[in-house]
Chain A
Amino acid sequence: MSLSTAVKEGDQISPRQVIKLDATGTYYKDLNREIRSLAQAGARKFEIHNVYGQRYLGTNLWGIKDRDKIRLKIFGTPGSDMGAFMDGPTLEVIGNAQDATGNTMNCGRIIVHGSAGDVLGYGMRGGEIYVRGNVGYRVGIHMKEYMDKIPTVVIGGTMQDFFGEYMAGGRIIVLNKFFQGNPPIRQSYFIGTGMHGGSIYVRGDVEAHQIGAEVGISEPTDDEWKIIERYVANFCSVFGLEKNQVKLLKREKFWRLYAKSKRPYGRLYAY
């Protein structure tokens, strides 16, 4: 691994300095340790090049002061569990992300310019994830919320099956290729199976057989439209898209999927 500037122990790094790392052939533990020690020395802006499968990026930055100002720009294909348990930093991937992105993430932001794999946002409890492309199976499973900590995921493309399964809180917005100027494509199956909290907002038609028995469908309320527009505006600014398109969204067919009951299985095991 090579550093743009040699950092000696005890050095203070200016938060404005961009630290460039070359991850070629570096084991994920070494890479993450290096990032942590640089962040402890004050570094806040990182560019990490040639990332091929290194896991848990952004995870071990817990406890660092001002960690919400840490920004990792990742070039390549980061490994699974990127941003797992992350608490504050921003990760931006120029490329695709693999599986389990933002696993049980607590706070912070993940921006993926390509697509992401399966199980994105699993058990997520706070923070934001923006994916410009598509996402795989079982995304947003068991997301949850508490008081003002409401995790939010915005997906530019579409998703595969078991989307929002057992979802307990938070929001997911699926734009279904709106910004590519494409008509919505058919959504996946088993959406929101076992859902008991939170909201999924999807562009395009959703048929009854595609959703779980625990899911209700309605149109978003005016208050919900404000939330959708706010996060889609964020989506535009992180990906450099024209923000004035956001108001065109309201002309589209948009559905809100919600949990019919907070305790769908409450009577199942009661005698």
Chain B
Amino acid sequence: MKDLSRTNNPYNDEKVISQCSIFGMMDTSGKLHSGKQVITAISNMHERGNGLGGGFAIYGCYPERAEDYALHIMYHTRASRDETEVYLKRFFEIRHSEEIPTFPTPAIKNPPDVFRYFVQPKMEEVHEIISDNDLVARRVFKINTSIDNAYVFSSGKDMGVFKGVGFPEQIAEFFGLEDYYGYIWTAHGRFPTNTQGWWGGAHPFSLLDWTVVHNGEISSYGANRRFLEMYGYVCTMHTDTEVVAYAVDLLARKHELPIETVMDIFSPPVWEQIDRLETQEREYFEALRKVYGPLLLNGPFAIIVAHHGEMVAHTDRIRLRPMVAGLSGDIVYTSSEESSIRLISPDLDRVWIPVGGHPVIARLKGIPGHDIVEGGKPVGGAEPLEVGN
């Protein structure tokens, strides 16, 4: 196991507290959009970050290689790249590889080398029945836990994470994100308060095509991590957001739970409220808390989780971090601040503040029963707050 504490956790803290800006945009018709609007929106919340982390996730950005896993890897040394490429050649069929084009700006200091590889996992040395996804996830963990100074920060198909140390608008300039196109964009501006900002510690966090951007603090980090470790997840970043990404992977991808249920596990009602529910609903929440209690996320948080076809904005059950949602035609916006949505889309059909613990779910249209925008029934009659248009 490599020593990550040098780079990201010099004081060996158990968790990291942060207070950030998050923004998400999804065109539910699947139409691709340039990064321009999202960059404008997230940079309008400049005040929420401190320049120690910015990042974006883009879905639909590699249509010409949509069948291949796109591995984005950052290297802090040349030796780490050599070592990683030997590993990649052994375990993957590399169909295309290149340095990710970057546009050096004075604001971005000492960037690592960033490369992308479009790959398929090799099955030759695998002597078990395992899905491509599980195999790729295992290889990603292997690189992240055993090769020093190399870090896979994106590993999904037809999507990509771009992140680093800087304000989000600077990161966007560095990677030239105005020229990327996607139907889902999520973005993050970071304000790390407990540890230094470093390239791997910026958001979004991702595994396969699942990404998470997060504002707040997961106070239950220790309990969540121990539960996830029993399922083989290795927390290498010592930042709280990491556990959300792995918990989503475990619950939604491996245990195949609907995303509404995943969010109910993260933010169930308090027991007092559960006691007042009708039998069926009460039993549902009781079961979730018995089986998945250790994945309850405690503390203040607002997150935007995305994977292909779906974008979910969610908060803790008493909404200790802000979240506003907006709707304009086919486009769903979610943001820490309403002003950022209105800046890029002044004429909205609907704006609302979701109830704490009840997700806003945007889905690609055309899949039967899958084109709803708001999921998760508010408990006990609480209603999302319409704030007009």
Contacts and interface: CB of A to CB of B under 8 A. Distances in A.
Whether A and B are associated in the same complex: the answer reads yes
Interface of A: 28, 51-53, 55, 76-80, 96, 98-99, 114-115, 117-118, 133-134, 136-137, 158, 160-162, 185-186, 188-190, 209
A209 B382 CA distance: 14
A80 B45 CA distance: 11
Chain A contact residues, majority secondary structure: loop
A76 B385 contact: no
A114 B385 CA distance: 12
Contacts of B387: 96, 114-115, 133-134
Interface in B332-356: 337-340, 342-343, 351, 353, 355-356
A226 to B, nearest CB: 31
B368 interface: no
Contacts of B356: 137, 160-161
A195 B325 CA distance: 31
A118 B351 CA distance: 15
Nearest to A114: B388
Nearest to A118: B322
A136 B351 CA distance: 13
Contact size range, B: 20 to 34
A232 B342 CA distance: 31
A160 B319 CA distance: 10
- Of all A-B residue pairs in the complex, the 5 with the closest CB atoms, nearest first, are A53-B339, A115-B387, A77-B339, A52-B343, A52-B339
B272 interface: yes
A247 B45 CA distance: 44
B319 A55 contact: no
B75 to A, nearest CB: 36
Contacts of A80: 337
Given A133-B387, A160-B355, A117 B322 contact: yes
A9 to B, nearest CB: 29
Contact of A161 (B318, B324, B338, B381): B318
Nearest to B269: A189
Given A136-B353, A137-B319, A160 B385 contact: yes
A160 B47 contact: no
Contacts of A55: 47
Contacts, number: 83
Nearest to A96: B387
Nearest to B321: A118
A106 to B, nearest CB: 23
Contact of A76 (B276, B337, B342): B342
A52 to B, nearest CB: 4
Interface string B168-201: 0000000000000000000000000000000000
Contacts of A53: 44-45, 337, 339-340, 343
Given A53-B44, A96-B351, A160-B355, A189 B273 contact: yes
A188 B381 CA distance: 9
B383 interface: yes
A136 B342 contact: no
Contacts of A28: 47
A189 B386 contact: no
Contacts of A136: 319, 353, 385
B69 to A, nearest CB: 38
16 contacts: A51-B339, A53-B45, A53-B339, A55-B47, A76-B342, A77-B338, A79-B47, A80-B337, A99-B322, A117-B322, A118-B322, A133-B386, A137-B319, A160-B353, A160-B382, A189-B380
Interface string B302-346: 000000000000000011001010000000000001111011000
Contact of A115 (B319, B381, B385): B385
Which of A28, A76, A99, A160 has the largest count of B CB atoms less than 10 A from its CB? A160
Given A79-B339, A115-B353, A186-B382, 17 more contacts: A52-B343, A53-B337, A79-B337, A98-B322, A98-B337, A98-B339, A115-B386, A117-B338, A117-B353, A133-B387, A134-B387, A137-B319, A137-B356, A160-B356, A161-B356, A161-B382, A186-B381
Interface in B344-389: 351, 353, 355-356, 380-383, 385-388
B349 to A, nearest CB: 15
Contact of B318 (A79, A96, A134, A162): A162
Contacts of B388: 96, 114-115, 133
A237 B284 CA distance: 49
A80 B318 CA distance: 19
B385 A209 contact: no
A118 B319 contact: yes
B383 A185 contact: yes
Nearest to A210: B380
A266 B384 CA distance: 37
A134 B385 contact: yes
Contacts of B273: 189
